[in-house]
Chain A
Amino acid sequence: MANQTSSHPAHVHHHFVDSDQQFDTAKMGMWVFLVNEILFFGGLFCAYIVYRTWYPELFSEAAHELNTLWGAVNTVVLIGSSLTVAMAIRSAQKNQTKGLKINLLITIALACVFMVIKGFEYSHKFHLGIFPGEYYTFTGIEHPQANIFFSIYYMLTGVHALHVLVGIGLITWIYLRARKGEFSSEYYTPVEITGLYWHLVDLIWIFLFPLLYLIE
């Protein structure tokens, strides 16, 4: 608990003693929030485990309907965006506003690429009649419960895609603030905690990809 600062810079809210305390607080808050995100997805992963143990053949059969190549491309895209967001934070720490803005823009672009590819995957499936649950009409899979796999697939990837969209929004907001020159090595808390969020979104996809696409 630091308690002996004299200056109170503009970016420090009145209820904090100093900039360090504000930074630590924001970061910790984000970590706690991420824990709760993990549990949110945890429920879906749990449903995945239950149905995979019940219908193991279904999962290996249905996974063939997913396009491993595009899944892999998306994995690379997201990992790349995690890298650029980390570089954005680094730029902010080193006072390089230009690098910060460029890295943020690349991150946004990569996230959009991810969404576009995901969109193509979805529309291809809808075309085949692979809808969730009762609307499922595809006949290419023998298993009578094939719809369950795709229900889980749509829930997991859908909720994840929603997180990507939120991420795009957040990073755009950070970009706009960076353009106004709000960040520097003195103050880059929002960049850092948005970065943390984005890493989690990436990490969840890294679990989703093998669990859904790479079942043998």
Chain B
Amino acid sequence: MIAMRDFLTGRLVPVLTILVAIVVIWYGAAIGLNGPVIRDFEKRAGETSEGMAFILKTWSQPKPTMPAPHQVAAAFWKYTAGVKLTSNRSLIYHSWVTLSATLLGFALGTALGVVIAISIVHVPALDKSLLPWIITSQTVPILAVAPMIIVLLAAIGVTGLLPKALISTYLSFFPVAVGMVKGLRSPDTLHMDLMRTYSASRAQVLWKLRIPASVPFFFASIKVAIAASLIGAIVGELPTGAVAGIGSKLLAGSYYSQTIDIFAALIAGSICAILLVTLVDITGRLVERRMGAKT
């Protein structure tokens, strides 16, 4: 009972308040940003509207500077529920294109990150030489590399999903590698010494001690990695001139200044992100609970 009440007053109510505040500010911003355009228009047309009529006008422009929340919601609804799944206008279809690249890149990036982390933990020469460059690799803005990867791969005949996925890989391997190095090194000396008294081999230490100990680190880092993966996939759709995917919708919206469409695409991307992160979060909790973690 008390736990439930604590959750309500301590979490849910504040979060809902903030969300409501965001919507209110958003409507306010729509008035502020669209108002001047309408005034301008009215001056030329020689008419004026006041009070509520004016406010309603700011919330119902066809090509507003700042679309109102309900306009975005309507557009989002139209492009998801209102069109066929296979249609070129369906946001679900575009989301799926981006998601598939995200997931492929995420899988590759996670595998790469884990392999790098295991090598770094076991080969001292790699620890000293590779780790600094892994950090440096992330200071290269990914978009600088994105067109390169796409051009390079196109030149050797690879197009479609893989180039985008590789950008996701580039962004997602880093948190996994860094987090897993920490995780694989997290067993304390006591446990390591215990394994040594059993004369366990390096492989046994890895499987029976290091990897179980790194599980919480693993899930914490793939939560970051999957969000990064999605960004990689979206960004990867920009320089390719892709015809499908959330990135391509953003690009198309920006060509025609269709702010409502851009916002709808943004909402689709955000929903993808929330779904992915939640999925990883739940999986992590389940696995950790099965491994005997508290709560």
Chain A partners chain B: no
- The chain B residues found within 8 Å of chain A, CB to CB, are none
